[in-house]
Structure 1
Amino acid sequence: MSAGYGGSVPATMKAAVVEEFGKPLVVKDVPVPEPGHGEVLVKVIASGVCHTDLHVRDGDWHVKPTLPIIPGHEGAGVVVKLGPNVTTLKIGDRVGHAWLHDSCGGCDYCLSGWETVCGNQHQTGFLANGCFAEYTIAEANYVGKIPDNVSFAQAAPVLCAGVTTYKALKETEAKPGQWVAIIGACGGLGHVGCQYAQAMGLKVCAIDFGADKQSYAIDTLGCKAYVDIKGKSSEEIVAAVKAACDGVGPHGSVILAPVPAAFRQGVDMLRPMGTAVGISLPPGDFPVDIFSLILHRKTVRGSIVGTRKDLNESLTICGEGHVKCTVEERKLDDINAIFDDMVKGKIKGRCVLRIAPDP
């Protein structure tokens, strides 16, 4: 292969591969892919580990990836090779390879800036090989541009956790000075969501499990209120959040906790005309109080990652110094241990795989 940024591109690369659902990933050497029309080859410097990657390993969604697959959709790195007809990027550009690998570009959703709900899309690390590897192939028109002052380890979580919570906050339609409640505020998505909310001028009521997280939420993340759900019934959680938010509840709620009960709580805690936005994907369904929904004009909607515009906005906000990710760097060889820690709830903030040294 031709020479690339920082030296020649090798013929093989190290990657973590799902070869069988429910089994540990296999870390091995595989061929370095060749970028095709409109694609670029990215040398991955850092790659965030998302809960979705765990679902890819386990194959527990109703839609399953075709195996073998390389997971990972928070790949921050450098363009080292251009495929034919790439005009928007150059060798050495700092880019992020996110969940939305590509979409059809021609349907009503794509044409109106809603490519995230396109029915003919591919997802990085799910339907296209991802970023748990030394190199990854990305569509040139779908990468995010990483600001020069943002490290690759800091950029990685923004590529999913950041853009996803940023988009969900926009979907609440809450205005500067208003309250948003974030359920699961201290986790990988929540801790960046709290910071994006403040950058947007919103007041945050953080909701999480355990009194030990209160200091982190208030003192580190800058939230205005904290509600500990430990030992509380759903009714008590809702009442505590309402009390913290002017006595009537938040204007919007973002549901990150992967349990159906959190969805009902996220709707019930809203003040009239509030909007609950669901992000997490637990199995099952949840009941809605129809009288409250109708009489209080509440809105319930889902939100999935963000558009290309949302992605670049979220990276820009990070570059302006408004978001600082809590990152624990680990090695690619540690991926199975990381998944074990994730299942046990031991990870604070975001775990990032250090694939290569900063160039």
Structure 2
Amino acid sequence: MEVPKTQRALVIHEFAKGQVLETNFPVKEPGIGEVLVNIKFSGVCHSDVELSEGRLPIPVTLPVICGHEATGVVVKVGENVTNFKVGDTVGIMMMFSSCQDCEYCKVANEFHCKDLKLAAIHTHGTFQEYTVVSARHVHKIPDNVDLSKAAPLHCAGVTVYRALKESSVKPGQFVVITGAAGGLGSFGLQFARTMGMRVIAVDLGEEKRQHCLDLGAEHFIDAAKPDFIEQVVTLTNGGPHGAVHVATATKPVEDSFLYLRKRGTVVVVGLPRDPIFKGDIGMFVLKGITVKGSILGNRKDMDEVVEFFARGVINVPVKVMGLSDVPEILKMLHENKITGRIVVDPKK
């Protein structure tokens, strides 16, 4: 398969200075244990907004290419790669590599590895036509799936799936998902329903109600309503057993301490610009509330997510735009104007 020497890529040279669309960016050769993938679609995540403005709580190596959830086709394989061949359809996670030998890697918590390398943080991401990735963190995608819809599975999908697992909510119990109409929330509603949970969707704006109900929410509650907390408690017969926060704000987290039932679990995923939240420690103690952070998901989680999708039980509406549209997309994300997920085609 013939591979060009140069390509289109969206590059950040300075934070908060925009992304430059370069048309002669070099195509890298895969090294030992790596594969070169021709990117077909790449999802756009809210963390791309924070990254482009230099707001992530992780040091980023510049220049850098954003994008970390993608699908594509293997066009070259490096030495010692035996599990992939040219022509394989694959999905790319944010995890680029990990040591595989520390206490976290040994129990499949690679995302806490001290030597973890992340796409669009430590190495170039997927807002380009071709990218080199570790064969260990690439996943085979069934040939019959829509690659545009499968791309967001590899960050948004697996992240919220892992968070739902961390919530410890059992089948038949209530879970609240905040930011429910966005990319992660849209996946979360469907995963929670498929896992047997009773789902309460929370977001801002009545225009998001039908979207959430269509994706499996039992009820939708507009968080802007003055009686929003009372509504949550009433509809869940005394409070939900868990709350998963994918909204990028602190208030939803603070609100959940008020409506969560005793022994409930709060799982925080979204990264707000103001990361400091307030909580009543006495309430934590008296109600026995557990608060967790959750990031990404492991390879087993990813395999399960792809299986759900291949079976047709997960389907998030996506809109396909071009690489040159990314600045506009990031602005829409910042203004909370996106329902579902936007993916970009690097050729456009």
TM range, normalised to the smaller chain? Answer: over 0.9
Alpha-carbon RMSD: 1.3
Where 1:175 maps in the other structure, the secondary structure is: coil
Segment of structure 1 superposing worse, 258-267 or 34-43: 258-267
- Structure 2 counterpart of 1:280: 270
- Structure 2 counterpart of 1:12: 6
State the alpha-carbon separation in 2 of the partners of residues 103 and 55 from structure 1.
Answer: 23
Where 1:80 maps in the other structure, the secondary structure is: strand
Residue identity matched to 1:229: A
Deviation at 1:256, TM superposition (A): 1.2
State the alpha-carbon separation in 2 of the partners of residues 62 and 225 from structure 1.
Answer: 34
Where 2:183 maps in the other structure, the secondary structure is: coil
- Structure 2 counterpart of 1:118: 113
User: Aligned runs of 1:196-207 on 2, under 5 Å?
Assistant: 196-207=191-202
- Structure 1 counterpart of 2:258: 268
Determine whether 1:321 maps to 2:315: no
The equivalent position to 2:18 in structure 1, one of 10, 14, 24, is: 24
Deviation at 1:15, TM superposition (A): 0.4
Determine whether 1:61 maps to 2:56: yes
Residue identity matched to 1:322: V
Is the 1:181–1:252 Cα contact (8 Å) retained in structure 2?
Answer: yes
Residue identity matched to 1:115: E
The equivalent position to 1:303 in structure 2, one of 275, 282, 294, is: 294
State the alpha-carbon separation in 1 of the partners of residues 141 and 280 from structure 2.
Answer: 43
- In structure 2, do the counterparts of structure 1 residues 97 and 269 end up closer, same or farther at CA, with 3 Å as the change threshold? same
Q: Which runs of 5+ in 2 are unaligned?
A: none
- Structure 1 counterpart of 2:284: 293
Determine whether 1:140 maps to 2:135: yes
Deviation at 1:346, TM superposition (A): 2.1
- Structure 2 counterpart of 1:215: 210
Deviation at 1:292, TM superposition (A): 2.5
Q: Which runs of 5+ in 1 are unaligned?
A: none
User: Aligned runs of 1:130-209 on 2, under 5 Å?
Assistant: 130-209=125-204
- Structure 1 counterpart of 2:36: 41
- In structure 2, do the counterparts of structure 1 residues 342 and 319 end up closer, same or farther at CA, with 3 Å as the change threshold? same
Residues 265-285 of structure 1 show CA distances to partners (whole Å, capped at 9, x for unaligned) of 223321111111000111332
State the alpha-carbon separation in 1 of the partners of residues 203 and 30 from structure 2.
Answer: 43
State the alpha-carbon separation in 1 of the partners of residues 168 and 184 from structure 2.
Answer: 19
State the alpha-carbon separation in 2 of the partners of residues 356 and 25 from structure 1.
Answer: 16
Residues 221-245 of structure 1 show CA distances to partners (whole Å, capped at 9, x for unaligned) of 121011111243xxx3322211111
Deviation at 1:356, TM superposition (A): 4.9
State the alpha-carbon separation in 1 of the partners of residues 221 and 193 from structure 2.
Answer: 18
- Structure 1 counterpart of 2:344: 353
Residue identity matched to 1:138: V
State the alpha-carbon separation in 2 of the partners of residues 139 and 213 from structure 1.
Answer: 38
State the alpha-carbon separation in 1 of the partners of residues 62 and 346 from structure 2.
Answer: 23
The equivalent position to 1:109 in structure 2, one of 94, 104, 107, is: 104
Residues 127-185 of structure 1 show CA distances to partners (whole Å, capped at 9, x for unaligned) of 11110000011100111222223211011111111000000000001111111100110
Where 1:77 maps in the other structure, the secondary structure is: strand
Deviation at 1:95, TM superposition (A): 1.0
Deviation at 1:198, TM superposition (A): 0.9
Determine whether 1:331 maps to 2:322: yes
Residue identity matched to 2:155: C
- Structure 1 counterpart of 2:241: 251
Is the 1:56–1:64 Cα contact (8 Å) retained in structure 2?
Answer: no
Residue identity matched to 1:15: A
- In structure 2, do the counterparts of structure 1 residues 258 and 251 end up closer, same or farther at CA, with 3 Å as the change threshold? same
State the alpha-carbon separation in 2 of the partners of residues 226 and 336 from structure 1.
Answer: 31
Q: Percent identity?
A: 41
- Structure 2 counterpart of 1:343: 334
User: Runs of at least 4 residues of structure 1 off by over 6 A?
Assistant: none
Is the 1:267–1:300 Cα contact (8 Å) retained in structure 2?
Answer: no
Is the 2:266–2:292 Cα contact (8 Å) retained in structure 1?
Answer: yes
